[in-house]
Structure 1
Amino acid sequence: MDWQELKRGNLCMHGKKGTVAVASAAVLSLVLVGCGANSPAPSNTQNTTGTGTASTGKPVPGGSVTLDFVQNIRDLDPAIAYDTQSDEVVSQLYDQLVTWQGNTDNIVPMAAKDWTISADGLTYTFHLHQDMKFWNGDPVTAQSFIDEFQRVLNPNLGSGGSGFYTIIQGAQAYLNKKATSISGLSAPSPYTLVIKLTKPEKFFLDTLTMPFISAVDQKFIDKVGNKAFDATQAMGSGPFELTSSDITPNQIILTKNPNYWRTDSYGNHLPYLNKVTINISNNDQLDTLHFEQGQTAWIGWNFGGDGIPASSYPQFMANPKYAALTQSLIMNSVQYVGLNTTQGPTKNPLVRQAIEYAINKPDILRLNNGRGQIANQPLPPGIQGYVQNLPADATYSYNPQKAIALLKQAGYPKGFTIDMYSSNDGAQLTLDQGIQSQLAKVGIKVNIKASSWGTFLNVAEAGKAPMDWLGWIQDFPDASDFLNTLFNSNQVPVNNNMNYSNANVDSWLNTAEYSMNTQQRNQLYGNVTDQVMKDAVWVPIWYDKFTAATQPWVHGFYIPAVGQDPIEWVWISKSHQ
């Protein structure tokens, strides 16, 4: 998911959202996973730093919290939502078959109480809990998931997740409008879902953790229509409810689902909180002040891809009172400047290479308080397949004189003017201005086109931005989620919004996507990385360090390695209720 973090920066990102690929599909043997009625408690074993606590004692249900969002959400439809800001809400409204345990990369049951994978890795059989209901009382069944697969693979809906599921038998024909159903999906009983693949895939189970494949009430959707379902008319089975009157341009109110089926190890029904009030404000300094004054419960993904915003970070961390409330995690995510390969001057690879040399990444990172690690390729170091030593023609360092020479060679001795698109929060504008200043030194005039997150994504995902700043956080810990999703030509324009197309890259990606040989996959992904960097499709700027802060009366919060803030697991001290 890009990260907004389509999942993208303090940024908001696209994609979503750890360390190495999990062997989630142990396809050479019959696998039985998960049982029991209780939800596994979060297991927080990632390398987080800081003193903010994840949990203290037995949870106490009740109470309400207020949060600030730096940008409003764009989508409510789980088939369409593919940015971190939207997913922060969507993840609380809908249930998936499986999910991640805490901030680990362990997959655990959710709607599926258990599942099996056939010895050849082609057939997945899920047995669902039988006590799940949508907020309106309609039952959640296997058909609820089949309906969502069909929606995601409906070309008229335009889901950014369709490419994850074309490996299902009959899915490509359905996507191409050559079939009216997906032959690889079936429900032999109301609470049994069978998925048949065309070939084994190492990370298929990982893709089922994503909100794309949520249980949906098709009868309700047919009644209100897809447009309203995405905008205001939600109907899920998740821990929180949302009515049309609870979402406005300035506020979103999540209310506890009193009939939610998941319980913790103590027998408490999730979620613990009765209500979450979300106020929309892109003034990140004011939002930080609200936290410091105790008005809001935490700073997490609700603030975007860095957590505590750059504009407030130095002062925040310099105060021992507030620094003691923080926790940090190095993320499998990347911030980058994208260069459109089919429009204007950046169609020329020499121009794109010139921009690579013209950007001083350490200086840009300093605008983010140094939070992050300088990036030299799209794949973060924590993902298997990262290239340790890039070839010389895929490596760039700050060299404005070389940038000027390349521009002259490309036919732009006096430079040119280009529009750069991004979201309009304050921290992002600072970064945009940094890029603008650096490119001006080589003769490139950058016009900053900043807008609300939703408006910006509409331009970016149509492949119409000549240049933009975005970020990408893992949806699941596999190189495919970065390289195939963002650079395969079959992902143009929603995910591959720089419209990049290279036949060799497509071939390498398509082979690696379905290879079960780790060594072969790493080699192929290395080839892709080398070529993408030679072609200068992106200027990777940094890999993120995420810093969150929680009030001392907030418990159960943790920074997820994959996914969004764990709102359903958060509880507050009795004294604060």
Structure 2
Amino acid sequence: MKINKKTRLLGVVASVTLLGAALAGCSTQPSATSQAPTTPTAPATTGAQPVYGGTLNLDLAGAFPHLDPVKAYDTTSYEAVLQFYNQLVTYKGATNTIIPSLASRYTISPNGKVYTFYLANAKFWNGHPVTAQSFITEFERVLNPVNSSGGQGFIDPFIAGSNAYYSGHAKTISGLKSLNGGKTLQITLTQRDPVFLYVLAMPFFSAVDPTYIAGHSESYIDHNPMGTGPFYLASYQPNQQWVLKKNPHYFQKGIPYLNEIVFTNNSSPSAELLHYKQGLTGLLGYNIGGNGIPSQDYLPIVMSPTYSKQVYKVVQVATQYIGLNNKVGPTANVKVRRALEYAINKNYLVKVLGGRALPANQIIPPSMPSGYEAKLPANATYSYNPALAKKLLAQAGYPHGFTTTIYCDNSNPDDLRITEAVQSMLKAVGVTANINQSSWGTFLTNNETGNQPMFNLAWVEDFPDPSDFLNTLFNSNQRPVNNSTMYSNPAVDKLLNTAANMPAGTARDNLYKQAQNIIMSQAAWIPYAYPVFTAAVQPWLKGYYLNPNQVDPLQYVWIAKH
């Protein structure tokens, strides 16, 4: 939502209560010279008119790591941040089509380097107006090394002056200009960037109130957002509950429909199913980054004459993988990493996931519009072969194996089951892998130091382009926050950087395929599954949809009378 984006593999349950209602009254990027529609549009609803009012209760399997868009780069944080903040552009419904958001319209110069955004008449919750400086301040925060933002690599060096600002050689970002009394933002790039509008739709590049930012510490802002979004944070109990209220002055007229959203930290899978069957919950297994319905509940739900009709299923643009540290320890040796690839039975891991996935053989998932390789070269292809794994370990100087640690999140039973299965497979080839579990927030913090020898994680697309997987996770300049395996290869960097300068097309796709083949031949990490997301949705919960690039837009959800 990716993360990127990095994501835990979990199920999230949502409970819904109707408080009262009144009837409502009321992918490709544009070409260089095109102009997007002048007003944002909500996804069309079918059948009954949306109903206003009600409270949506969401039970989370773990606390939000971040509420500050400069730091949010996991699906759990995205869930909250996208309710609090808006970006210049966003996605139309469940498609990959970019449409305006806080930019009421925009233009792109013929050379593809100058973007001009004409801002909507929007305000922050405190009444301060959104101006060009609202975005300039956020870009500066993303490029401030102190913040270690995962967004830095998406705009540096693509925005003119970004690298000079990041390295401390300039006090301003030369490629960002406030025009027309702050009502217009102009962004100048160093080169044509075919994914730049997708990048601007990421939460990193939200509008923030410069006065609010200047008056509070970064730690305070991370727990007390000040945004323009459809919901504002009314109250919270640290690590327990977050109460969101409807923004009555939201700049998009007619939404949101709900009066309130309550997020509660409650990680009981058995309670999820019970609540859903009792009709107390609106969704079962809800979360873009996870596998959806918990494994133990999957078959009873999909085989039930009643609940099977309520199942929502979509193939995710995501890859689950075991990360291997390429810089330190035994896994710094390419023969060791290749040995571990051969030691893993991916078909079995798919069974552990209840069959709700496809075995993975490469980084780019088959659901990505481009970049997936139908047939990898022989040196980038691995099959389950414990005997060969032992042979490679011996050649690497580890005839009796070694001891290591696999890190994983503790909030999802499936996550632990996969990690334990991998532990058993490694044991069979002589490698002792101890498991280190921690909360999602702690796991992410440790992961982004680049010091974990092995880890179980997944990557969900931020936008529909292979660069989001390959450049973000394997370019040397993304270490250690995004490139947590510490992989570094000048040849791969050259391919990725060259592709970034090229227009979309076959030539660009071929460079990404070359880069992936090299990375896979060096076994930088072990892709093991392409997940299929499943959730059960109550028939009275309306407006729900899933965009592959973002978590759910809750401003469009409404509750029918029932």
For the aligned pair, the TM-score class normalised by the smaller chain equals: over 0.9
Aligned residue in 2 for 1:228: 220
Which amino acid counterpart does residue 190 of structure 2 have in structure 1? T
Provide the C-alpha distance between the structure 2 equivalents of 1:32 and 1:552, rounded to a whole number of angstroms.
38
In the TM superposition, residue 499 of structure 1 has moved relative to its aligned partner by 0.2
Q: Is the 8 A contact 1:170 1:182 kept in 2?
A: yes
Match of 2:29 among 20, 24, 27: 24
Mark the CA change 1:25 to 1:176 in structure 2 (over 3 Å): closer, same or farther: farther
What SS class does the counterpart of residue 497 from structure 1 fall into? coil
Match of 1:393 among 364, 379, 386: 379
Q: Does 1:563 align with 2:550?
A: yes
Mark the CA change 1:512 to 1:168 in structure 2 (over 3 Å): closer, same or farther: same
Aligned residue in 2 for 1:199: 191
Mark the CA change 1:303 to 1:530 in structure 2 (over 3 Å): closer, same or farther: closer
Aligned residue in 1 for 2:9: 9
Deviations 1:85-121 (A, max 9, x none): 1100100000111100111111111111110001111
Aligned residue in 1 for 2:52: 61
Deviations 1:342-398 (A, max 9, x none): 121111111111110000001011011111111111111132121121111110000
Provide the C-alpha distance between the structure 2 equivalents of 1:541 and 1:194, rounded to a whole number of angstroms.
43
Provide the C-alpha distance between the structure 1 equivalents of 2:88 and 2:287, rounded to a whole number of angstroms.
25
Aligned residue in 2 for 1:410: 396
Which amino acid counterpart does residue 243 of structure 2 have in structure 1? I
Mark the CA change 1:464 to 1:108 in structure 2 (over 3 Å): closer, same or farther: same
Aligned residue in 1 for 2:245: 255
Provide the C-alpha distance between the structure 2 equivalents of 1:499 and 1:559, rounded to a whole number of angstroms.
32
What SS class does the counterpart of residue 173 from structure 2 fall into? coil
Aligned residue in 1 for 2:169: 178
Provide the C-alpha distance between the structure 2 equivalents of 1:138 and 1:162, rounded to a whole number of angstroms.
27
Q: Which piece of structure 1 moves more, 274-283 or 169-178? A: 274-283
Match of 1:438 among 384, 403, 425: 425
In the TM superposition, residue 23 of structure 1 has moved relative to its aligned partner by 3.9
Count of aligned residue pairs for this structure pair: 544
Aligned residue in 2 for 1:535: 522
In the TM superposition, residue 55 of structure 1 has moved relative to its aligned partner by 5.0
What SS class does the counterpart of residue 434 from structure 2 fall into? strand
Q: Does 1:160 align with 2:160?
A: no
What SS class does the counterpart of residue 145 from structure 2 fall into? coil
Aligned residue in 1 for 2:95: 104
What SS class does the counterpart of residue 31 from structure 1 fall into? coil
Q: Does 1:574 align with 2:552?
A: no
Q: Does 1:334 align with 2:335?
A: no
Deviations 1:499-548 (A, max 9, x none): 00001000000000111152221121111111111110111011121112
Aligned residue in 1 for 2:76: 85
Mark the CA change 1:200 to 1:301 in structure 2 (over 3 Å): closer, same or farther: farther
What SS class does the counterpart of residue 574 from structure 1 fall into? coil
In the TM superposition, residue 10 of structure 1 has moved relative to its aligned partner by 2.8
Deviations 1:425-484 (A, max 9, x none): 212111111111111111111111111100000111110110001111110000100000
Match of 1:380 among 352, 365, 387: 365
Provide the C-alpha distance between the structure 2 equivalents of 1:55 and 1:77, rounded to a whole number of angstroms.
35
Mark the CA change 1:303 to 1:449 in structure 2 (over 3 Å): closer, same or farther: farther
Provide the C-alpha distance between the structure 1 equivalents of 2:518 and 2:417, rounded to a whole number of angstroms.
31
Provide the C-alpha distance between the structure 2 equivalents of 1:261 and 1:307, rounded to a whole number of angstroms.
32
Mark the CA change 1:4 to 1:482 in structure 2 (over 3 Å): closer, same or farther: closer
Which amino acid counterpart does residue 404 of structure 2 have in structure 1? I
Provide the C-alpha distance between the structure 2 equivalents of 1:2 and 1:34, rounded to a whole number of angstroms.
26
Q: Does 1:138 align with 2:140?
A: no
Q: Is the 8 A contact 1:5 1:470 kept in 2?
A: no
Deviations 1:312-347 (A, max 9, x none): 212222222222111111111110001101121111
In the TM superposition, residue 126 of structure 1 has moved relative to its aligned partner by 0.7
Provide the C-alpha distance between the structure 2 equivalents of 1:285 and 1:466, rounded to a whole number of angstroms.
33
In the TM superposition, 1:244-283 aligns within 5 A as 245-263=235-253, 269-283=254-268
In the TM superposition, residue 2 of structure 1 has moved relative to its aligned partner by 5.0
In the TM superposition, residue 273 of structure 1 has moved relative to its aligned partner by 0.4
Provide the C-alpha distance between the structure 2 equivalents of 1:247 and 1:116, rounded to a whole number of angstroms.
43
Tell me the percent identity. 45
Q: Is the 8 A contact 1:4 1:453 kept in 2?
A: no
In the TM superposition, residue 301 of structure 1 has moved relative to its aligned partner by 4.5
In the TM superposition, 1:288-437 aligns within 5 A as 288-299=273-284, 301-302=286-287, 304-383=289-368, 384-424=370-410, 425-437=412-424
Structure 2 unaligned spans of 5+? 13-26
Aligned residue in 1 for 2:178: 187
- Please report the RMSD computed on the Cα atoms of aligned residues, expressed in angstroms: 1.6
In the TM superposition, 1:470-481 aligns within 5 A as 470-481=457-468
Q: Is the 8 A contact 1:416 1:445 kept in 2?
A: yes
Mark the CA change 1:518 to 1:4 in structure 2 (over 3 Å): closer, same or farther: closer
Deviations 1:40-86 (A, max 9, x none): 1226xxxxxxxxxx754211111112111112110111011000011
Provide the C-alpha distance between the structure 1 equivalents of 2:237 and 2:131, rounded to a whole number of angstroms.
28
In the TM superposition, residue 25 of structure 1 has moved relative to its aligned partner by 4.8
Provide the C-alpha distance between the structure 2 equivalents of 1:288 and 1:180, rounded to a whole number of angstroms.
54
Q: Is the 8 A contact 2:2 2:549 kept in 1?
A: no
Q: Does 1:211 align with 2:203?
A: yes
Which amino acid counterpart does residue 94 of structure 1 have in structure 2? Y
Aligned residue in 1 for 2:439: 452
What SS class does the counterpart of residue 156 from structure 1 fall into? helix
What SS class does the counterpart of residue 462 from structure 1 fall into? coil
Deviations 1:144-202 (A, max 9, x none): 11111111111111100111112111111111111000011011122111101111111
What SS class does the counterpart of residue 104 from structure 2 fall into? strand
The TM-score with structure 2 as length reference comes to 0.94
Q: Does 1:148 align with 2:135?
A: no
What SS class does the counterpart of residue 6 from structure 1 fall into? strand
Q: Does 1:35 align with 2:38?
A: yes
In the TM superposition, residue 4 of structure 1 has moved relative to its aligned partner by 9.0
In the TM superposition, residue 255 of structure 1 has moved relative to its aligned partner by 1.1
Q: Which piece of structure 1 moves more, 531-540 or 379-388? A: 379-388
Provide the C-alpha distance between the structure 1 equivalents of 2:8 and 2:337, rounded to a whole number of angstroms.
21
Q: Which piece of structure 1 moves more, 2-11 or 160-169? A: 2-11
